[in-house]
C-alpha cells in the first residue's frame, strides 16, 4: 500500500515510475521481529528499540557475568548489555512466547531487524525472498563481531541464539535482489542502512571527524571515525557507520544514543495535556522566564548514553509556586540540549578533538527555539539543512552507488543543501551554570526502579531525621546507631540517679 501510494504521488508530480533505477531501505534499528519462514506470518508483535520489557532479561544474563559487568561484550560487539539492543529482545521472545519457542525448536523461526523483514517480503517472502541484513543493522544486535562483520559464536552462545535463525550480513550498498511484486516489480533493491547511519550519509559526513545529530523520538549523535574502530571509555557506542559495497572499506562511528527527545513532548501532550500540538512547544516555551530553575530529566526508558542506567526514572526538579506549563515545556526542550552536551563531552574525551560545528536533522529541528537553545548549551554553531529528510536521502545515496547501478559516485558528491546556522548567544559562565543544574538533576533521577523493603526503611528513617545523603545505606545505619548511644546513656544514667536519690531519702 505504501509503495502504491508513493508511485501515485510520483505520477501526480509528473514523474514516471519507470525512471526508478533502484531503491534503498532505511529502518528503525534494534526493533526486532520473529516470523515463520514457511508461512511468512509474524510469530509475535515487533519489539521496538525503546521497549523496557527486557529489563529482567538483562538482569538475568548479567548474573552469570563476573561483577555483573554490562560491558562484558564491548570488545566483541562494541555495545553494552542493554534492553536497547536486539539480542535481549530475541532472548525475551524465546523465553516468553510459546509460538516463538515452538518455531525455534522446529527450525522454522527467523529473527530479524526491520530491514530483514522488509527485504525478505519485498523480494518474494516464502517464494524465494532473500534473508539478509546490512552491517549497520547487524551491528546493533549485540550478536555481530564488529571487527569481522560476522555473527560472533561467543555472543550467540552468551544469549543462547542459533546462527541459522539470523540473516546473512551484507554491505550497505549492493544489489540484494529485486522487487518480486507491486508496481516496482523487477526494480533492484540495492541500498540498506539503519536510520541513524543513513542520516550520517545523507548529511554528507563521509570524512573522518564529521558528525551529525538526529532529533526525533530519541536523539542520536554519530561521529565518523573512518576506518579506525574506536572503543569508548566514556559511555558511547562503537558501531558501523557504513560499508559502501562488499569490497569497500568499513567506516566506523562512535554513537551517543538518547532514548527520549521528541517523546518527552508527546508525553506532555498526551499524558499531561500541557500541549494541544507538539508544534506549539516553540511559542509556549518562549513565554517562560529566560533562564528557569526547572530541570526535566526525561528518563522514561532509563538513561542511555553516556550513563547507561536502566534504574533511572524521569524527574522534574526546581518547581515553585511560580512554575507554569511554559516552564515545564521549556525544560523538556532544554533536556534535549543538555543530553546532547552530555554526548559531546564524552566524544571530546574519547576523540580528543572537540567538534567545531554540529550538523542536525530530524523532525524536532523545525523548532527554531530548540535550535537556538542547542547552540547556547553546547557552545558551538548548530547547522540545519533546509531539506530535513536526510535519512531517506542517505538510503537513496547508498542504493544509487551500488555496483551495477552507479548513478553517482559518493566520492565525488559534495554538500549542496542550503543550511540555517545558529550561533551561541550566551557566555561560558551562564552555559556552565545551566549545565551544572542538569547534572544535579541527573543524580536525582538514579536508583528509582528498584527499592527493596530494607532500603525503603533506611530511606524513610533518613527522611524523618533530615539526615543528609552523604553516605551509603550501610554507613548510614552504622552512623545512626553510633549517634543514638549518647542519648541512650543519658536516659539510663538519669534513671539511675533518680532511683538512687529516692532510696537515699
Q: What is the pLDDT of residues 347-364, one digit of tens each?
A: 999 988 888 899 999 889
Give the residue-averaged pLDDT of 210-232: 93
Q: What CATH architecture is 260-380+419-444?
A: 2-Layer Sandwich (3.30)
Q: What does the alpha-carbon distance between residue 350 and residue 225 come to, in Å, rounded to a whole number?
A: 11
DSSP conformation class of 55: H
Neighbours of 315 (CB within 10 A): 17
CA distances from 101 to 105, 166, 404, 477, 480 (A): 6, 15, 41, 47, 52
Alpha helix stretches (DSSP H) within 306-452? 325-351, 368-378, 390-401, 428-444
Render the burial of 475-490: b for 16+ CB within 10 Å, e for the rest.
ebbeeeeeeeeeeeee
418 contacts: CB under 8 Å, gap ≥ 6: 385, 386
Contact in structure between 400 and 413 (CB atoms under 8 Å)? no
| Top CATH class, 17-234+240-253+389-412 | alpha beta
Confidence of residue 201 (pLDDT cuts 50, 70, 90): very high
Q: Pull the grid cell for residue 99.
A: 509460538
Mean pLDDT score of the chain: 88
Rounded CA gap, 77 and 60, in Å? 20
Per-residue pLDDT reduced to its tens digit, 430-489: 999 999 999 999 999 999 866 554 555 554 554 454 444 444 444 444 554 455 555 555
Q: Which of 44-48, 159-163, 351-355, 397-401 has the lowest mean pLDDT?
A: 351-355
The three-state secondary structure class of 66 is helix
Report how far residue 465's alpha carbon sits from residue 64's, in angstroms, rounded to the nearest whole number. Answer: 39
Amino acid at each position: 500500500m505504501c509503495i502504491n501510494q508513493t508511485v501515485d504521488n510520483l505520477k501526480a508530480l509528473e514523474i514516471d515510475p519507470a525512471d526508478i533505477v533502484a531503491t534503498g531501505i532505511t529502518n528503525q534499528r534494534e526493533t526486532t521481529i520473529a516470523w515463520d519462514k514457511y508461512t511468512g506470518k509474524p510469530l509475535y508483535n515487533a519489539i521496538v528499540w525503546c521497549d523496557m520489557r527486557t529489563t529482567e532479561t538483562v538482569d538475568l544474563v548479567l548474573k552469570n557475568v563476573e561483577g555483573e559487568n554490562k560491558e562484558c561484550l564491548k570488545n566483541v560487539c562494541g555495545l553494552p548489555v542493554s534492553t536497547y539492543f536486539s539480542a535481549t529482545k530475541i532472548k525475551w521472545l524465546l523465553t516468553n512466547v510459546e509460538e516463538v519457542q515452538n518455531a525455534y525448536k522446529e527450525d522454522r523461526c527467523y529473527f530479524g531487524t526491520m530491514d530483514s523483514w522488509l527485504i525478505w517480503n519485498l523480494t518474494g517472502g516464502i517464494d524465494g525472498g532473500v534473508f539478509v541484513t546490512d552491517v549497520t543493522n547487524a551491528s546493533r544486535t549485540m550478536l555481530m563481531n564488529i571487527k569481522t562483520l560476522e555473527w560472533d559464536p561467543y555472543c550467540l552462545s552468551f544469549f543462547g541464539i542459533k546462527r541459522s535463525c539470523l540473516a546473512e550480513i551484507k554491505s550497505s550498498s549492493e544489489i540484494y535482489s529485486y522487487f518480486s511484486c507491486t508496481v516496482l516489480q523487477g526494480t533492484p533493491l540495492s541500498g540498506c542502512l539503519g536510520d541513524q547511519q543513513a542520516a550520517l550519509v545523507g548529511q554528507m559526513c563521509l570524512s573522518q571527524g564529521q558528525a551529525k545529530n538526529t532529533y526525533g523520538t530519541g536523539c542520536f549523535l554519530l561521529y565518523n571515525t573512518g576506518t579506525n574502530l574506536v572503543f569508548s571509555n566514556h559511555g558511547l557506542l562503537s558501531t558501523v557507520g557504513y560499508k559502501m559495497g562488499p569490497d569497500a572499506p568499513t567506516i566506523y562511528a562512535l554513537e551517543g544514543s538518547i532514548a527520549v527527545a521528541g517523546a518527552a513532548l508527546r508525553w506532555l501532550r498526551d499524558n499531561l495535556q500541557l500541549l494541544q500540538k507538539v508544534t506549539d512547544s516553540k511559542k509556549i516555551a518562549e513565554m517562560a522566564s529566560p533562564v528557569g530553575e526547572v530541570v526535566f530529566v526525561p528518563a522514561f526508558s532509563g538513561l542511555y548514553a553516556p550513563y547507561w542506567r536502566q534504574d533511572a526514572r524521569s524527574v522534574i526538579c526546581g518547581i515553585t509556586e511560580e512554575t507554569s506549563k511554559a516552564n515545564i515545556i521549556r525544560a523538556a526542550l532544554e533536556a534535549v540540549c543538555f543530553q546532547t552536551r552530555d554526548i559531546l563531552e564524552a566524544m571530546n574525551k574519547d576523540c580528543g578533538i572537540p567538534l567545531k560545528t554540529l550538523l542536525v536533522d530530524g523532525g524536532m529541528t523545525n523548532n527554531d527555539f530548540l535550535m537556538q537553545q542547542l547552540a547556547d548549551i553546547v557552545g558551538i554553531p548548530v547547522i540545519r539543512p533546509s531539506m530535513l529528510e536526510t535519512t531517506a536521502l542517505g538510503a537513496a545515496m547508498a542504493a544509487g552507488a551500488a555496483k551495477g547501478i552507479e548513478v553517482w559516485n559518493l566520492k565525488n558528491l559534495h554538500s549542496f543543501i542550503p543550511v540555517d546556522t545558529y550561533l551561541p548567544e550566551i557566555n561560558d559562565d551562564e552555559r556552565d551554570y545551566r549545565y551544572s543544574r542538569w547534572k544535579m538533576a541527573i543524580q536525582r533521577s538514579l536508583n528509582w526502579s528498584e527499592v527493596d523493603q530494607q532500603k525503603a526503611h533506611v530511606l524513610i528513617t533518613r527522611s524523618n531525621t533530615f539526615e543528609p545523603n552523604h553516605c551509603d545505606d550501610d554507613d548510614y545505619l552504622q552512623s545512626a546507631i553510633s549517634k543514638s548511644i549518647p542519648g541512650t546513656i543519658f536516659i539510663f544514667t538519669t534513671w539511675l540517679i533518680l532511683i538512687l536519690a529516692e532510696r537515699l531519702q
